[in-house]
Structure 1
Amino acid sequence: MFENLSSSLQKTFKNLRGYGKLTEKNVKDSMREVRLALLEADVNFKVARDFVKKVQETCMGEEVLGSITPGQLVVKRVQDELEALFGGAHEEFDLTGSPAAVMMMGLHGSGKTTSSGKLAMRWKKHGRRVLLVACDIRRPAAVEQLMILAGQVGCDVLGPEPGETVPQLGKRAALAAKEGKYEVVIYDTGGRFQVDEELVQELKEFEAETRPNNKVLVLDAAIGQESVNVAEAFRDAVGLTGLILTKLDGDARGGAALSVHAVTGCPILMTGSGEKMEDLEPFYPDRMASRILGMGDVVSFVEKAQGIVDQEEAMRMQEKLAKNQLDLEDFLGQIRQMKKLGSMSSLFDMMPGDALKMDAKKKEAIANASEIEMRKFESIIQSMTPHERRNPKTIDRSRRLRIAAGCGRKLADVNQLLKRFEQMGKMGKQFKKMEKRLRHMKKFTTK
């Protein structure tokens, strides 16, 4: 997401930092490049024009033109305007009420039903009782899909009865949610391939029966500027309290995310960048602006890791590494933990430093290679017996050949895995030696 825009902006700012002093011409030339980068990223024309105008006005002051670090100040001005473009401050769902009601809307294929399941899982993890309501009665298998997701999440689901209309289902579900003392009820409403009068009327009647305090539109970011038009249509028809942008990993330009708040005035609440149930994250304008400008997003990375990594397991692994007692079962566990964190390309976007200096193609190539390697190593370990996983030293050539044949890999791949595991063991020995030296130094200094 935003790879093209990020690369273009970083190139422009690199040139700016090369100037010892800025002039009005430098600023105007740079802003022309910024405007072009925004348009190439599929940002709405008016949004791009207004953005550049605001940045240029703030950069023409004496504070910037006379500064000893003018390039850095221009970057700061751009970052401030990007944050404003995204909505300024992070906004949450309104979870007040008994229960809090969330009405999910969107066109077919936007990821509305999947996002409903992801939200249910997120709130259930926070200890809330959640009820999912399958209101998409026209799309084939939509009700079944939500029931499967509810089973994966471990929350209750309510579906339609024969002959029941969507507004009637909403009224019954609202009463059931209150009687069942649920804290959150999520209505997965029906969609269409486009906004039409029938859909609008159905949603209005449904809203009148359920009175949701959250009216959320799920938008497919990969459809670009059309998503902005869809958001305007839903906003004008039933009103919106927030947006969820999905499939951000499928669009390198990201123009929809940059345009939709500015055009509709609706806050972006969450973003989805994958098919896994964990791939739905709160949207923070300041953090997204930092990613685009190549500054990374360490805070989001740490929060994501804390939500996935078992702290007790991490401590156990640390102790085993220090004692050089790791086996291939542990190695497999580490691979699976990494996979839960999301795609390597999304993790790269959160990392400050050298990773952000690479161009988008090189970054994507490295990320893809890393993911392929993890999948390869996982399949190789799964092809081993439990004894082999726990006792890697017993894996001789004949076992390696059998393991390679069992998972459809080459002998060289098995050798590569075992070599990587051996390197990890050597790292553990180095940690142990370092720990001994530190203890010795501490003992010496306390005498």
Structure 2
Amino acid sequence: MSGVIVSKLDGTARGGGALSAVATTGAPIVFIGEGEKVADLEKFESDRFISRLLGMGDIRGLIDIAPESLDQEEAMRLTERMMSGRFTLNDMYKQMEMMSKIGTIDKIVSHLPSSFFGGLGAMDRKQKEEMQGNLERFRVIMDSMTEDEKNEPNILKAERIRRIARGSGVKEKNVRELLAQWNRSRKMMKGIKGQSKTTPPNEGHDE
């Protein structure tokens, strides 16, 4: 046996099992992946693998899987808008488009630290599948909105929500879930911005 390929690697148990396999066979791990398709595989690097196994994430790996077609300037603009609190549904839609270019939620979350955004990086497979479904549904819902509605979500009252639900083939509660998610994201980013303003630039450093 010249090498080991570990597929469907979605938890620490399987990660530990992979290490046991290497110890038993003496063969090195060559590729790892969360799925069973060739596109799901990535080159094995021991330091990054151990980091993910310990819940520390692999941000460099996330950058590596981002396609060259990803608009870096647009990504930076969206980040700046989020951090400033000027985050609209239009921005959220573009953000979801970028995420879909990188890969599935399963693939993206697997590279995040387990503590990321209150435990997002520690989601189990069922939670990831649910989140993936929500993102796809949210994009369909936003396709039924006007530009004004996406740029000014606060104008979305009962009558507009009813129209959007009918147009996108979902329930009104799904439209409200989208608005709640947008509002949570906006408030979270405002909170991060507020913390950065109140933190002294030299905190933790002796003069």
Q: 1:382 and 1:432 mapped to 2: Cα distance?
A: 30
Q: 1:248 and 1:12 mapped to 2: Cα distance?
A: 13
Paired AA for residue 52 in structure 1: T
Q: 1:284 and 1:4 mapped to 2: Cα distance?
A: 16
| Aligned counterpart in structure 1 of residue 102 of structure 2, from 326, 341, 348 | 341
Q: For 1:301-380, what aligned pairs fall within 5 Å after superposition?
A: 301-305=62-66, 307=68, 309-353=70-114, 363-380=124-141
Q: CA deviation at 1:323?
A: 3.3
2:205 alignment partner in structure 1: none
Q: 1:344 and 1:394 mapped to 2: Cα distance?
A: 30
Paired AA for residue 425 in structure 1: R
Q: 2:72 and 2:101 mapped to 1: Cα distance?
A: 15
| Aligned counterpart in structure 2 of residue 82 of structure 1, from 28, 46, 49 | 28
Paired AA for residue 403 in structure 1: I
| Aligned counterpart in structure 2 of residue 399 of structure 1, from 160, 183, 187 | 160
2:36 alignment partner in structure 1: 250
Verify the 8 A CA contact 2:144 2:168 in the aligned structure 1. yes
| Aligned counterpart in structure 1 of residue 39 of structure 2, from 263, 268, 272 | 272
Question: Which secondary structure state, in structure 1, belongs to the residue aligned with residue 66 of structure 2?
Answer: helix
Verify the 8 A CA contact 1:344 1:371 in the aligned structure 2. yes
Paired AA for residue 399 in structure 1: R
Verify the 8 A CA contact 1:380 1:404 in the aligned structure 2. yes
2:204 alignment partner in structure 1: none
Verify the 8 A CA contact 2:105 2:128 in the aligned structure 1. yes
1:2 alignment partner in structure 2: 8
| Structure 2 unmatched runs, 5+ | 1-6, 202-207
Q: 1:344 and 1:432 mapped to 2: Cα distance?
A: 25
Q: CA deviation at 1:414?
A: 0.6
Q: CA deviation at 1:424?
A: 2.2
| Aligned counterpart in structure 2 of residue 285 of structure 1, from 37, 41, 44 | 44
Paired AA for residue 249 in structure 1: G
| Aligned counterpart in structure 2 of residue 423 of structure 1, from 175, 184, 189 | 184
2:53 alignment partner in structure 1: 294
CA deviations on 1:33-78 (whole Å, 9 max, x unpaired) are: x4xxx5xxxxxxxxx8xx6154xxxxxxxxxxxxxxxxxxxxxxxx
Question: How many pairs were matched up?
Answer: 189
Matched, 1:52 2:52: no
Larger Rg: 1
Q: 2:113 and 2:24 mapped to 1: Cα distance?
A: 26
| Aligned counterpart in structure 2 of residue 410 of structure 1, from 171, 174, 185 | 171
Q: 1:382 and 1:398 mapped to 2: Cα distance?
A: 17
Q: 2:160 and 2:176 mapped to 1: Cα distance?
A: 11
Q: CA deviation at 1:394?
A: 1.1
Change (3 A) 1:288 1:381: farther
Q: CA deviation at 1:5?
A: 9.1
Verify the 8 A CA contact 1:345 1:363 in the aligned structure 2. no
TM-score (structure 2 length as normaliser): 0.71
1:221 alignment partner in structure 2: none
| Root-mean-square deviation (Å) | 3.7
> Percent of aligned positions with the same letter in both sequences?
21
Verify the 8 A CA contact 1:305 1:341 in the aligned structure 2. yes
Question: Which secondary structure state, in structure 1, belongs to the residue aligned with residue 103 of structure 2?
Answer: coil
Change (3 A) 1:305 1:402: same
Q: CA deviation at 1:422?
A: 1.5
Change (3 A) 1:373 1:293: closer
Paired AA for residue 191 in structure 2: Q
Q: 2:171 and 2:105 mapped to 1: Cα distance?
A: 24
Question: Which secondary structure state, in structure 2, belongs to the residue aligned with residue 249 of structure 1?
Answer: coil
Q: 1:387 and 1:428 mapped to 2: Cα distance?
A: 22
Question: Which secondary structure state, in structure 1, belongs to the residue aligned with residue 194 of structure 2?
Answer: helix
Change (3 A) 1:388 1:340: same
Q: CA deviation at 1:10?
A: 2.5
| Structure 1 unmatched runs, 5+ | 14-33, 39-47, 55-80, 88-244, 252-270, 274-280, 443-447
